[in-house]
Structure 1
Amino acid sequence: MQRIRNNELTIQAPIHSGFGPRTTALEALGGEDLRGKVAIVTGGYSGLGLETARVLAESGATVIIPARTPEKARASVSRIPGAELETMDLLDPASIDAFAQRFLNSNRPLHILINSAGIMASPLARDKRGFESQFATNHLGHFQLTARLWPALTKAKGARVVSVSSRGHRISGIDFNDPNFEIREYDKWKAYGQSKTANALFAIELDKKGISYGIRAFSVHPGTIVTDLSRNLSDEEMRAMGAMDENGKRVLNEYNEEFKTIEEGAATIVWCAVNKQLDGMGGVYCENVDIARAVPADSPQPPGVRPWATNPEFAEQLWELSEDLIGVKFPV
């Protein structure tokens, strides 16, 4: 699939980066010196977010990590050089606004925004506005955060926004008539798939609107990694995924193109956030430290991005829906 954005062509096809599934986040950095750069990493206190934040900070960036419960995150964040721990709950719009305003009050530019925090296959729950929790946390909360941080992103005069999506997007597109499962029966996996498709579509429209401000956006499938994201899955579900050993410990029993270590899982996130190979590009879904292939809806193979997650009309429709739902408009 090809999209023309303000006279720039972005192709949803591999660029043959020279990296691959075994690349680590440090390698994907491409030797970039990030001194003077400022990054915000949601979910930066555990799992992929923690590794991403660590690599960015050790490469010189100032990294801000918002957490719903800072006290629980303090020990892990303390291992990241110079990291700033903040308070923010993606299910609480007032908390999002307060965090963003505190950052704006610092008068700093924001060069890197990594929307990494998320939940997966959780029981039906709703945020304070009544929105289904996976859609609210994984998409709407980050949509609002990005909108509020827009002045700092434009101030950077060259920023990147990375939305952590998932191969789970292939489970479901967006149900624009019932995104919050108010009519249809709740299915935890369809809700997760919908939220991950939303992450991919958000990057497409954000890139379209941000390019004239020097803001480029990407979505990422990091791979399958055993982290706290799987906390809502039963032992039976983990065993079926090959993610539990004979002693009942939740670990991957093998590593392949899909199953990765945390260092490998964070690689595509870091690559999209800083690597010069992507200069002048954006609005694409990436995996295995490269731009992913666009594949048909009925593709039997897991890799690649499905058409409902790359459709620019769907991206525009989701943008309008999101602004209407949360009552927040992007200043573009």
Structure 2
Amino acid sequence: MAAADQAPIGSGFTAKSTAREVLAGFDLSGQNIIVTGGYSGIGLETVRALAGAGARVTVPARRADTAAEALAGVAGEIEIAAMDLGDLASVRRFADHYLETGRGLNILINNAGIMAPPLARVGKGWESQFGTNHLGHMALAMQLAPALQAADGARVVALSSVGHVRSDVIWDDPHYAARTYDKWEAYGQAKSANALFALGVDLLGRDVGVRAFSVHPGGIFTPLQRHLPEEEMVALGWKAPDGSIPPMVQAMFKTPEQGASTTVWAATSPKLAGKGGVYCEDCDVAKLATADSQRWEHARPWITDDAKAEKLWAMSEAMLADA
């Protein structure tokens, strides 16, 4: 990807635009969309907006009963199916069942994720954040490739995060086999991997009509924080000692519906036609970071590097082939 591609294009929306505002006037009837993690937080608002615009939305869920309860009041055509991103057999069963329907897949949104949990392992001993946030979603996309290609103009949206600034992919030890586990470094690695995955999909898919984007949804209080004790959120500055949210944080953080807006913009905006591989924030393509960038904004150079995207793809394919 050329560095010039990683620059705002003037979307007409803002950091506080909502998903429904982004989709105003869109008719997504006949579109098939999959949203992982689409039953809580920003995933739920993403499904609400897309289904409300007429799309048929499939929500694969590790807790299907919980998903059914959360989505019961959401208008539109929504299907729920069992899938656990940490269990590749489950991922492949879900994808195979989807392919058996014969539907194309217009949009795949890799929304689900975990943040800063204690060290845990999934799959073939993979660190859980890298395994769930990246490898599980990569396996899903690879298995669904025929449906994406059949849609003629499909998009893949991977939820990355400004957390990517914490770490590039730890190329020599991504699963913490030989180094002390740092949950925030591991989260940063997983979010960098999400962005490089989108770039990799775009490099491979653009010639067959599949484009991909990564997005930072913004700071939002959702169940993603479930692994963080209250005192850690105070230490991070997200909350005051009395549990209240400081005014500066209130001004910067978004509601879940605002947090879903960059996702749906990347998934549907005609302004992104013919583009791909870029990292987006606040309903626009993000700037490439410079020495003057704040730690909560812009795309660090390592997530815009084609060679790193190709390296991650090859490394991840090898991991998945053994699983």
Shorter chain as denominator, the TM-score bin is over 0.9
| In structure 2, C-alpha distance between the alignment counterparts of 1:297 and 1:141, rounded to whole Å | 34
Q: 2:288–2:298: 8 Å Cα contact kept in structure 1? A: yes
| In structure 1, C-alpha distance between the alignment counterparts of 2:131 and 2:71, rounded to whole Å | 25
Q: In structure 1, which of residues 181, 189, 193 is the aligned counterpart of residue 184 of structure 2?
A: 189
TM-score, length of structure 1 as denominator length: 0.92
What's the CA shift for 1:49?
A: 0.5
Query: 1 or 2, which has the higher helix percentage?
Result: 2
Equivalent positions of 1:77-156 (< 5 A) are 77-80=71-74, 81-156=76-151
- Paired position in structure 1 for 2:2: 2
SS at match of 1:255: helix
Q: 2:54–2:77: 8 Å Cα contact kept in structure 1? A: no
Q: In structure 2, which of residues 152, 156, 159 is the aligned counterpart of residue 161 of structure 1?
A: 156
What's the CA shift for 1:16?
A: 1.5
- Paired position in structure 2 for 1:231: 226
Alpha-carbon deviations, 1:159-202, whole Å to 9, x = none?
00000000000000011111111011100000000000001111
Matched residue type, 1:182: A
- 1:11 lines up with 2:5 in the alignment: yes
Alpha-carbon deviations, 1:46-65, whole Å to 9, x = none?
00110001100010000000
| In structure 2, C-alpha distance between the alignment counterparts of 1:305 and 1:28, rounded to whole Å | 22
User: Relative to structure 1, is the Cα distance of residues 182 and 267 closer, same or farther in structure 2, using a 3 angstrom cutoff?
Assistant: same
Q: In structure 2, which of residues 172, 175, 180 is the aligned counterpart of residue 180 of structure 1?
A: 175
What's the CA shift for 1:309?
A: 1.2
Q: 2:279–2:299: 8 Å Cα contact kept in structure 1? A: yes
What's the CA shift for 1:247?
A: 5.7
Q: In structure 2, which of residues 15, 19, 30 is the aligned counterpart of residue 25 of structure 1?
A: 19
Alpha-carbon deviations, 1:229-281, whole Å to 9, x = none?
000011012223444467637x675433x411111110000000111111111
* Unaligned residue ranges in structure 2 (runs of 5+): none
Q: 1:219–1:283: 8 Å Cα contact kept in structure 2? A: yes
Q: In structure 2, which of residues 302, 311, 319 is the aligned counterpart of residue 308 of structure 1?
A: 302
Matched residue type, 2:283: V
What's the CA shift for 1:26?
A: 0.9
| In structure 2, C-alpha distance between the alignment counterparts of 1:84 and 1:96, rounded to whole Å | 16
| In structure 2, C-alpha distance between the alignment counterparts of 1:328 and 1:86, rounded to whole Å | 26
- Paired position in structure 2 for 1:287: 281
- 1:47 lines up with 2:41 in the alignment: yes
| In structure 2, C-alpha distance between the alignment counterparts of 1:282 and 1:37, rounded to whole Å | 20
Q: In structure 2, which of residues 244, 258, 271 is the aligned counterpart of residue 264 of structure 1?
A: 258
| In structure 2, C-alpha distance between the alignment counterparts of 1:32 and 1:217, rounded to whole Å | 20
What's the CA shift for 1:298?
A: 7.7
Matched residue type, 1:55: A
TM-score, length of structure 2 as denominator length: 0.95
Matched residue type, 2:261: A
Alpha-carbon deviations, 1:277-316, whole Å to 9, x = none?
1111110000000000001378444210101111111110
Matched residue type, 1:27: E
SS at match of 1:113: strand
SS at match of 2:35: strand
| In structure 1, C-alpha distance between the alignment counterparts of 2:282 and 2:322, rounded to whole Å | 34
- Paired position in structure 2 for 1:221: 216
User: Relative to structure 1, is the Cα distance of residues 127 and 153 closer, same or farther in structure 2, using a 3 angstrom cutoff?
Assistant: same
RMSD between aligned alpha carbons? 1.8
Q: 1:159–1:216: 8 Å Cα contact kept in structure 2? A: yes
User: Relative to structure 1, is the Cα distance of residues 239 and 86 closer, same or farther in structure 2, using a 3 angstrom cutoff?
Assistant: same
| In structure 2, C-alpha distance between the alignment counterparts of 1:129 and 1:79, rounded to whole Å | 38
Moved more, 68-77 or 282-291: 68-77
- Structure 1 vs Structure 2: percent identity of aligned residues? 51
Q: 1:226–1:252: 8 Å Cα contact kept in structure 2? A: no
Moved more, 293-302 or 35-44: 293-302
